[in-house]
Chain A
Amino acid sequence: MALAFDEFGRPFIILKEQEQKSRLRGLDAQKANISAGKAVARILRTSLGPKGMDKMLQSPDGDVTITNDGATILEQMDVDNQIAKLVVELSRSQDYEIGDGTTGVVVMAGALLEQAERLLERGIHPIRISEGYEMASRIAVEHLEHIAQKFDFGVTNIEPLVQTCMTTLSSKIVNRCKRSLAEIAVKAVMSVADLERKDVNLDLIKVEGKVGGKLEDTELIYGILVDKDMSHPQMPKQIEDAKIAILTCPFEPPKPKTKHKVDIDTVEKFQTLRQQEQKYFDDMVQKCKDVGATLVICQWGFDDEANHLLLHRNLPAVRWVGGVELELIAIATGGRIVPRFQELTQEKLGKAGLVREKSFGTTKDRMLYIEHCANSRAVTIFIRGGNKMMIEETKRSIHDALCVARNLIRSNSIVYGGGSAEISCSIAVEAAADRYPGVEQYAIRAFGDALDSIPMALAENSGLQPIETLSAVKSQQIKEDNPYCGIDCNDVGTNDMQEQNVFETLIGKQQQILLATQVVKMILKIDDVISPSEY
């Protein structure tokens, strides 16, 4: 470690406990960072594309997750290295913004780092490299806009949307029933979408999973699903035209927040208290009944007595419903959440066409369906599957599909997938490179090479000869001037992605390139890593 000395030969201490800290500087630091970033990218590389492999992750508690969703893998990976954490962040931000392409963005960043390493070895300054990358990314993004196509769909014509979702789902384990899942996702998004404002509130789509049944049994419910049953086993299992009182107060005697004591010292007091208590329960139930509610949904528990009174007055009730679900129910049924019995009025009741309880399998599992709601915007996707892992994975896949559909509604430009967009960008970037004087030219060219790595990984994962396939496709693109040629991952027999109907959203792809470039720039700029040593 470099040290400064004063005239007596004593070292200046600059960092606290300097001796115990490990420190990497200059080229070493950059190389260490790059190799960390590459290591993360290497893990994800094999998960790219429709034939990508899965990763098995065991959590600290021993639970097993099997997935090929980039964001999930990275999240659960327990990464320690700082730079690797940056890459994890990168994938997460892609997940937040776009929801799809989380693997691609990491692979892209890894490839950029790999190229940067080579340039560093040639003695090019990291800042020049990052500037070159910046220029190249701008060229690529512009080119993407150039080759993007408008994509037509309407409320009645959802087929194109379904096709896009199928592309997303084809890389997941659920691709056995990608068609039906894609349809479910698209229908769900369409039913909550605001087509005029081009906005989709994904909060209105709830994804619920329950172990059991087949993946094919997954269904879209125009309403809400609550994993609860009626509070009393003998309450009716089906209510039509339900008027729902949504309560956040328990059916229990009040517990004032101020401290108080009720002293009982005479027999009379004892008896009045008792009567009051009984009246209290009676009032509560009567109140609900009076406003015309035919179903009570409550966030809290019921006293046994209240429970029986409810049954007695023929007022079905559900207890211990979670806060989030309560809100969803309120949104869907157009009701108001009522915190006190006194405030219960007729206008505050929610309305639903049908509420029913459904039981599954041989076990006692029951769930409550609230359908035909007054405000039918909220929908639920109910996933069934062989096991918990399968359901978790399906949830993630559906989330991706939902995001893709949402992005298309927001902006309907698309680019073609299968690596075709990357190849086309790479050609454009390389052509543009020669026009730049100066050292950046090399960086721009390197960027073009990095872009190639995505189709390369796709080909590798699909069991094709990577270099051979890539060069063939590339030359085909230039020869036929057709930017839609990509890697034929599924052995369909054509390279034209337009024919194969494989496409991705333009913003997704642009975001991928921009985010990856940003992170790489950030990593390249670091020239000093100071970390506390192990103890």
Chain B
Amino acid sequence: MAIDNLFKDDATEEKGERARMASFIGAMAIADLVKTTLGPKGMDKILQSTGRGRSVTVTNDGATILKSLHIDNPAAKVLVGTDISKVQDDEVGDGTTSVVVLAGELLREAEKLVAAKIHPMTIISGYRMAAECARNALLQKVMDNKEDAEKFKLDLMKIAMTTLSSKILSQDKEHFAKLAVDAVMRLKGSTNLESIQIIKKPGGSLKDSFLDEGFILDKKIGIGQPKRIENAKILVANTAMDTDKVKIYGARVRVDSMSRVAQIEGAEKEKMREKVQKIIGHGINCFVNRQLIYNFPEELFADAGVLAIEHADFDGIERLALVTGGEIASTFDNPESVKLGHCKLIEEIMIGEDKLIHFSGVEMGQACTIVLRGASFHVLDEAERSLHDALCVLSQTVIDSRVLLGGGWPEMVMAKEVDELARKTPGKKSHAIEAFSRALISIPTTIADNAGLDSAELIAQLRAEHHKEESHAGIDVISGSVGDMAELGISEAFKVKQAVLLSATEAAEMILRVDEIITCAPRRREDRM
């Protein structure tokens, strides 16, 4: 007797081949979606949000595209959403598209193998062997120029240019690569990207973007206060400068006549005046507060010739405290022990039509600000994303200085080794290993396809090139032929490639292992009709 209602209503169950098909197709569809954005000649996507305003984003950053998709297919969710691609973005900052494309290709190959009656577990163990082998192949070919500072900087430059070449910044990639490398070199090995601030100001062209050594706060200086301070002593604070509330619970003001009100108001004012006096008593000439500063204290500050900046956001405060070396203060009773921040010069500068406050000559040399200029917000947003990718990759490279060539070179190297392994391995696994190498080759194929080149021809040439020892051949999308990547200066960070390889294999494996999908009934929302 068939049992018809094992699950709750609306819950569905897909089994065996059907389940596998559903998950394969879902994952491959996602891969195909971002496939066209891969490589220096990749295309962009327009994303329109469903929220109010229908804001539009133009991007070719894989992570951004995937983040904005609403996906129903569970297997596709493995690739997107909170998962693989996001991790890639967080940990190494770049290569998200590659992960998804590679995972999609691995699944495409796996589908063929499953159709040829090879058990998914066999495929998985083959993939694992292949991934390990590919990683070793890369490890053998890495270049490490950590010892030689000059060369290392050159490496960084190359990596930045390669990363940026697939983005909107590719026109001025040299300019931006230099910006990014300079910024990262200032960090001196820390991965803390917080001390690099990116400010976007529409207007001008992308070329007008610049790196500033100091710190720029997107705020205006209060009226009647000095516009320029040399040798500034800065107090960074997080305190209420409106009415200083009594924090004891249940306190309230209850008076019986107007004169009393006036008295209390006077006391309140007195209290504020005292507070301001105390603050000024620190011997400062600049005061930056996270919260609002009301007119009255502002006036007092102006009288004392102190520059007061109100309502700096929390990040801004923290960063300012970091770069000027001060501490964030909330009480002002012991002026001698509060550490003040210092900088050589504070001035108001104009970028485009906006006035900003510029702190230069700060104590901590690590901090810097990149000011991005561009024709529109879309361009600026995209530029910021691209620059962020580049910065992430560079900061990771500073830690792990191993470098590879780019342009499909690493994939070809891996594919060659994996092919070699397939020939040596007995048993059904060898099919899976072979499939892995085909999936690897699909990345340069996609790059070539996206650039409108004859991929079949190019890949064949590339493969032949790679059969020689010590080949540096890769795809040169500019000239549309096979070129020497070392000469062209196209490099990629080893860490990124490794992460791409491992994450993609892991994702593919996870999807392959599934033989049944059980979908629970979607939770009903009460508020919807």
Instruction: Assess whether A212 is interfacial by the CB under 8 Å rule.
Output: yes
Stretch in B172-180, B298-306, B358-366, B505-513 touching the partner: B505-513
Instruction: Assess whether A431 is interfacial by the CB under 8 Å rule.
Output: no
* 7 sampled A-B residue pairs with Cβ under 8 A: A234-B321, A308-B330, A309-B330, A312-B331, A312-B334, A359-B192, A387-B83
Cβ of A122 to closest chain B Cβ, rounded Å: 17
Cβ of B205 to closest chain A Cβ, rounded Å: 28
Q: A212 to chain B: which residues have CB within 8 Å?
A: 87, 90-91
Q: Quick check: B250 and A53 within 8 Å, CB to CB? A: no
**Per-position contact with A for B382-403: 1 when CB-CB < 8 Å, else 0?**
0000000000100110000000
CA distance A55 to B255 in the complex (A): 70
Q: A54 to chain B: which residues have CB within 8 Å?
A: 510, 513-515
**Per-position contact with A for B82-125: 1 when CB-CB < 8 Å, else 0?**
11101100111100000000000000000000000001111000
Q: A303 to chain B: which residues have CB within 8 Å?
A: 247
Instruction: Assess whether B263 is interfacial by the CB under 8 Å rule.
Output: yes
Q: Say which residue of B5, B83, B247, B518 sits within 8 Å of A55 (CB atoms).
A: B518
Q: Quick check: A386 and B120 within 8 Å, CB to CB? A: no
> Given contacts A53-B515, A58-B518, are A362 and B392 in contact (CB under 8 A)?
yes
Q: Select from chain B the residue with minimum beta-carbon distance to A37.
A: B3
Q: Which residues of B contact A (CB under 8 A)?
A: 1-3, 5-9, 11, 13, 19, 23, 72, 74-75, 77-78, 82-84, 86-87, 90-93, 119-122, 128, 191-194, 238-239, 246-256, 260, 263-264, 266-268, 271, 318, 321-322, 327-331, 333-334, 337-338, 392, 395-396, 502-503, 506-507, 509-510, 513-523
Which has the most chain B C-beta neighbours within 10 Å: A64, A80, A361?
A: A64
Q: Quick check: A81 and B247 within 8 Å, CB to CB? A: no
Cβ of B268 to closest chain A Cβ, rounded Å: 7
CA distance A92 to B71 in the complex (A): 32
CA distance A338 to B488 in the complex (A): 65
Stretch in A144-152, A179-187, A250-258, A292-300 touching the partner: A250-258
**Per-position contact with B for A370-404: 1 when CB-CB < 8 Å, else 0?**
00000000000000001111100000000000000
Q: Select from chain A the residue with minimum beta-carbon distance to B93.
A: A362
**Per-position contact with B for A46-89: 1 when CB-CB < 8 Å, else 0?**
10000101111111111010101000010011111100100000
Cβ of B278 to closest chain A Cβ, rounded Å: 12
Q: Say which residue of A32, A62, A260, A361 sits within 8 Å of B250 (CB atoms).
A: A260
Stretch in A5-13, A134-142, A271-279 touching the partner: A271-279
Q: Quick check: A362 and B247 within 8 Å, CB to CB? A: no
Cβ of A68 to closest chain B Cβ, rounded Å: 8
Q: Say which residue of A61, A261, A312 sits within 8 Å of B338 (CB atoms).
A: A312
Instruction: Assess whether A176 is interfacial by the CB under 8 Å rule.
Output: yes
Q: A158 to chain B: which residues have CB within 8 Å?
A: none
Q: Say which residue of A176, A214, A270 sits within 8 Å of B268 (CB atoms).
A: A270
Q: Quick check: B330 and A81 within 8 Å, CB to CB? A: no
Q: Select from chain B the residue with minimum beta-carbon distance to A50.
A: B121
Q: Quick check: B2 and A263 within 8 Å, CB to CB? A: no
Q: Select from chain B the residue with minimum beta-carbon distance to A276.
A: B248
Q: A387 to chain B: which residues have CB within 8 Å?
A: 78, 82-84, 86-87, 507
> Given contacts A81-B3, A388-B82, are A305 and B239 in contact (CB under 8 A)?
yes
Q: Quick check: A66 and B514 within 8 Å, CB to CB? A: yes
> Given contacts A56-B517, A387-B82, are A463 and B249 in contact (CB under 8 A)?
no
CA distance A59 to B74 in the complex (A): 10
From 205 to 229 in chain A, residues with beta carbon under 8 angstroms from any chain B beta carbon are 211-214
